[in-house]
Amino acid sequence: MKQAERREKLIRYLLDENPEYRDVEIPQEETGQRRLLRGLMNVRMPGAIDENFLRVQDEYLQEEAAAKGIVTIDDMAFNDEGLAVWKGDITRLRVDAIVNAANSGMTGCYVPNHTCIDNCIHTFAGVQLRYECSRIMEEQGYEESTGQAKITSAYNLPCRYVLHTVGPIVSGRVTAEDEDLLVSCYRS
C-alpha cells in the first residue's frame, strides 16, 4: 500500500469513528489530506483503536519519519566535554529519549495542527501515545504536578522513550519558585 492510500484509509477511519465528522470531505491534494489527518489525530480522544488502523498508521508514520530523515548521535558534533546541542525537529532523533513539554493532563495538545512540541510528539508517535498517557493519568488519579515527569514508549518516533514533564507557566517576572520548578523538571 502506498502512502496516499494509507493516508486516505486513516482519514476515512477517523472520520467514520466520530459521527460529527461524517460530512467532512477529504481534500484531493496531498497537503490538504495531510493537514486533515493530523487535525483528526490531534482531536481524537484517548482510547483503544482497531488493530488494522494501528498497523496502517504505524506503516504510514514510520515511512513519514524516514522521509523527514532520521538523525543519530553520529550526526551530532560533540564538544570536548562530550556535550552536543541539537537544534531542529526532535521528532527526527534516534536517541534513547526525547523530552516533551507536556501539559498537566499529559495527553497532549488537542488543538488541530498546532505546532507546539507536545502536539508534534503526539502526532508523529501515533494515537497509542495519547492512550498510554491517559492510562497513566487515570491510574495516578490526578493531574501531573509542575516539575514532575513521566516516561512512555515512543511508538513511531525514532527514539525509544518520551519523557513528559510539566514546566512552570510564567506570567510576568520569573520568580525563585519558577526557577525551582524548572530545575525539578530537569531532575525528574
What string of H, E and C letters represents the secondary structure of 52-100? HHHHHHHHHHHHHHHHHCCEEHHHCCCCCCCCCCCCCCHHHEECCEEEE
Cβ neighbors of 30 (< 8 A, separation 6 or more) are: 4, 7
CB 6, CB 56: distance < 8 Å: yes
Partners of 135 in the beta sheet? none
Do residues 118 and 100 lie in contact, with contact meaning Cβ atoms separated by under 8 Å?
yes
**pLDDT digit string (tens) for the chain, length 188 residues:** 899 999 999 999 999 999 899 899 999 999 999 999 999 999 999 999 999 999 999 999 999 999 999 999 999 999 999 998 888 999 999 999 999 999 999 999 999 999 999 999 999 999 999 999 999 999 999 999 999 999 999 999 999 999 999 999 999 999 999 999 999 999 99
pLDDT recorded at residue 137: 96
- Report the pLDDT value the prediction gives residue 53, as an integer from 0 to 100: 97
Give just the sign of the alpha carbon dihedral 135, 140, 144, 147. negative
pLDDT number for residue 85:
87
C-alpha cell at 139: 491510574
